[in-house]
Amino acid sequence: MDKNITTGGGLTIGLDLGDKHTEACVVDGGGEVLETFRVRTTQVALDRALARFDAARVVLEVGTHSPWVSRRVTAAGHEAIVANPRRVRLIAENDSKNDRFDAELLARLGRLDPSLLSPIVHRGEQAQRDLVLIRARDGLVRARSQLINQVRGFAKSLGSRCPASSTEAFPHRVRAALPGDLFPGLETMLAMIEQLTAEIRSMDRAVERLCKERYPATAVLRQVKGVGPITALCFVLTLEDPHRFAKSRSVGAYLGLRSRQRDSGEQRPQLRITKAGDALLRRLLVTAAHYVLGPFGPDTELRRFGLRLAERGGTSAKKRAVVAVARRLAVLLHRLWVTGEVYQPLGYKGHVAQAA
């Protein structure tokens, strides 16, 4: 019998986390349902509910509450299994879906073999808090871009055109080129853009402080041109422990930068990337890849690799080259983090190719 199967007195508890309430199902080693219960999704209520059981395997699906719940489960002496929702299709596609049945299904799957759930390892609380800074900054940048696009669109619809400018200079340039009464709310929108820019600058300074004071490993990653403090910090906080990966090439797949695979017989179709893992970090790596391949990118092995792919022609050659460079960049950053080596822009090809 597989060692992962809970037998004897071992219990498996499935938790279907809701925003207000959580449904739970307790299954014994023989697969019999011992108990079902409902509890409020709060730290106090969950701690009290789990304290009634000896060390058990607790299975929950990833979601908004899963990071802190998994930490509370571990602190209570239980084994926490956070299921990857991409692998729990039995729940999503069930014709008789309800919270209580979902909790039982999680318990039964976790009892048989946790590897079937492709468990996710949540980062620690401090890393999660620090990562919120980067995500909050990203939200402000998106809001600022939306406001700028709206100002340009409103002006264009009235027969005017906003001047070309950098994001930070946009309010000043617009005030100098367009009348303040062009449309209602123009000055308010420009003031909000300026306020957002000031807040983004403040967050940038906070990111720099975090890199220097709490995450010095980011300095090694920033040796690569195109990788700034935000990308480096996001990379370190998302992976958290570089030794989780036996090989650096696994990082590309972990971040969803490898192609899907649907091979059958002699057929080997070219498919899109999986887009698994953290979407923000993947977007930052792709942005860095654009810089590497762009007109200001320095001559490096990474750039030469991408340009060779782009020269193969085809409508999607450049897109594939950018993704390939982003994947290899992830491999390179992980290797630099683990080894602490001095990055050589040229001549580093053998190390990265071997790792990738």
- pLDDT tens for each residue of 137-189: 999 999 999 999 999 999 999 999 999 999 999 999 999 999 989 999 999 99
- Give the residue, 266 or 345, on which the prediction is more confident: 345
Q: Which of these ranges, 26-35, 36-45, 85-94, 111-120, has the smallest mean pLDDT?
A: 85-94
Q: Across all residues in the chain, what is the average pLDDT?
A: 88
Query: Do residues 248 and 292 share a domain?
Result: yes
Query: Do residues 73 and 130 share a domain?
Result: no
Average pLDDT of the segment spanning 5-18 = 77
Average pLDDT of the segment spanning 330-347 = 93
Residue 4 lies in a domain: no
- For residues 216 and 214, give the distance between their C-alpha atoms in angstroms, rounded to a whole number: 6
Domain boundary among 191, 213, 235: 213
Q: Enter the tokens of residue 286.
A: 């792709």
Query: Do residues 54 and 175 share a domain?
Result: no
Residue 66 lies in a domain: yes
Query: Do residues 224 and 339 share a domain?
Result: yes
Domain boundary among 213, 235, 256: 213
Query: Do residues 276 and 348 share a domain?
Result: yes
How would DSSP label each residue in 188-212? HHHHHHHHHHHHHHHHHHHHHHHHH
Q: Which of these ranges, 6-15, 84-93, 221-230, 232-241, has the smallest mean pLDDT?
A: 84-93
Domain boundary among 166, 186, 213: 213
Evaluate if residue 307 carries a pLDDT over 90.
yes
Whether 234 and 281 have beta carbons less than 8 Å apart is answered as yes
Neighbouring-strand partners of residue 16: 23
Neighbouring-strand partners of residue 14: 25, 59
Query: Do residues 92 and 191 share a domain?
Result: no
Query: Do residues 35 and 99 share a domain?
Result: yes
Average pLDDT of the segment spanning 7-31 = 88
- For residues 101 and 29, give the distance between their C-alpha atoms in angstroms, rounded to a whole number: 19
Average pLDDT of the segment spanning 187-199 = 97
What residue spans of the chain are helical by DSSP H? 43-50, 66-75, 89-92, 99-112, 125-157, 170-177, 186-213, 218-221, 229-239, 250-254, 279-293, 301-310, 317-339, 349-355
Average pLDDT of the segment spanning 190-199 = 97
At 8, the pLDDT band (50, 70, 90 cuts) reads: very low
Residue 1 lies in a domain: no
Query: Do residues 157 and 188 share a domain?
Result: yes
pLDDT in tens, 253-287: 889 998 776 655 665 666 677 888 889 999 999 99
The boundaries of the domain holding residue 206 are 125-213
How would DSSP label each residue in 5-45? S--TT--EEEEEE-SSEEEEEEE-TTS-EEEEEEEESSHHH
Query: Do residues 204 and 325 share a domain?
Result: no
Query: Do residues 85 and 153 share a domain?
Result: no
Whether 332 and 345 have beta carbons less than 8 Å apart is answered as no
Query: Do residues 138 and 66 share a domain?
Result: no
Residue 7 lies in a domain: no
Residue 74 lies in a domain: yes
pTM: 0.79
Residue 272 lies in a domain: yes
Average pLDDT of the segment spanning 67-85 = 92
- Return the pLDDT at 299: 94
- Return the pLDDT at 119: 79
Average pLDDT of the segment spanning 91-120 = 78
- For residues 123 and 118, give the distance between their C-alpha atoms in angstroms, rounded to a whole number: 16
Query: Do residues 228 and 329 share a domain?
Result: yes
Evaluate if residue 6 carries a pLDDT over 70.
no
Q: Which residues contact 47 (CB under 8 A, 6 or more apart)?
A: 72, 76
How many structural domains compose the chain?
3
- Return the pLDDT at 2: 47
Task: Give Cα 49 distance to the centre of its chain.
Answer: 31
Residue 293: CB atoms within 10 Å: 20
Residue 94 lies in a domain: yes
Residue 228 lies in a domain: yes
